[in-house]
Amino acid sequence: MKRNSSEPIRITEVCLRDGSHAVAHQFTVEQVSTITRALDEAGVHDIEVSHGDGLGGSTIQYGRSLVDEMKLIEAAVAACTQARIAVLLLPGIGTVQELKQAHALGAGLVRVATHVTEADVSAQHLYAARELGMEALGFLMMAHSAPVEVLVEQARLMESYGAQAVYVTDSAGALLPEQVRERVKALRGALSCEIGFHAHNNLSLAVANTLIAIEEGATRIDGSVRCLGAGAGNTQTEALVAVLDRMGVDLGIDLYKLMDLAEDKVAPVMHRVPEINKGSLAMGYAGVYSSFLLHAERAGKRFGVDPRDILLELGRRKAVGGQEDLIVDVAASLSRSS
């Protein structure tokens, strides 16, 4: 593979964060410890652990966690001998105080996530992370929903606040391959920091899009073992590692160990199998935030409305992460008009 970067590729495993959406945030300490230990032994570089909506996400609006996420972070840190534990923080949900608490427990990396047009709200959190000595990365969500020039402008803001990498985050799994190429190439040409890519598989493009991102210079890559994540899941880590190995890219990750933990440790904890079904496909088609799926299904059942209609209407309204309360309003409105 001809890559547009000489930096090594680092994999951030998100099954214990993005995968939290798929299990309704019901991870136990034992599950997190077991999976983290296996990921660490396989050589995965960074492992993200927090509520699906990041630090502080355990609320009525986003879904209550079974176990306080700080206990899960503490357990994950204790289970690692080489991997770093990462956390996600969405300003307005998580706070600097929670970031400090996670750092004190041993988290060494934070991704500060904002909507693609709202990078300015990340400043205090990125500054705080750098002051704590954490690696601080920017995460521009719903990257399909803004023109490339806006994405570049917002990424430059994050870099100016101290972000050591900025991610093109395909939260809806809506980006097409050439759109990924265009966005990563533009950031690579505009920034001095590393570029990251986070995919969802709602249109069955996660691995392909990730390979294009790597080819264009992305070096911070997200994957999820067994595809455990919101919607149809993320780029499947073990599949990506296998493909990259076939292409001559050695990540230092043990493929057999990844395969084993996917089947023996992650599969048994899955409440539902992330797959491309009518709901997740509708999300990718409509360009809707992947964590909306379970909320839309519940609202559809409550109001007797097809969840796909809810998702398509949310797409028309350009709903973004953090607007989960809008899902019920849309379902009620569709029910009244039917």
Q: Which residues are catalytic?
A: 21
Q: Is 220 annotated as a binding residue?
A: no
Q: Is 256 annotated as a binding residue?
A: no
Q: What DSSP character marks residue 231?
A: T
Judged on CB neighbours under 10 Å (0-12, 13-18, 19+), 271 is: exposed
312 and 333 Cβ atoms separated by less than 8 Å:
no
Among 206, 205, 236, which residue's Cα sits nearest to residue 223?
A: 236
Pairwise CA distance, residues 146 & 150, whole Å: 6
Provide Rg for the chain, Cα atoms: 18
The answer on whether 40 is annotated among ligand-binding residues is: no
Q: Strands (DSSP E) along the chain, which ranges?
A: 10-13, 46-48, 84-89, 109-115, 135-141, 165-169, 194-198, 220-223
Structure tokens at 153: 């402008």
Is 103 among the annotated ligand-binding positions? no
Rounded to 5 degrees, φ, ψ at 298 are -65, -45
Query: In this structure, what token pair is assigned to residue 6?
Result: 């000489």
- For residue 59, CA distances in Å to 74, 139, 180 come to 20, 22, 33
Query: Is residue 289 part of an annotated ligand binding site?
Result: yes
For residues 137 and 255, give the distance between their C-alpha atoms in angstroms, rounded to a whole number.
27
Give the Å distances, CA to CA, from 318 to 118, 168, 288, 291.
14, 18, 8, 15
Is 280 assigned a ligand-binding role in the annotation? no
* Known binding residues: 17-18, 171, 198, 200, 289
* Known binding residues for substrate: 17-18, 171, 198, 289
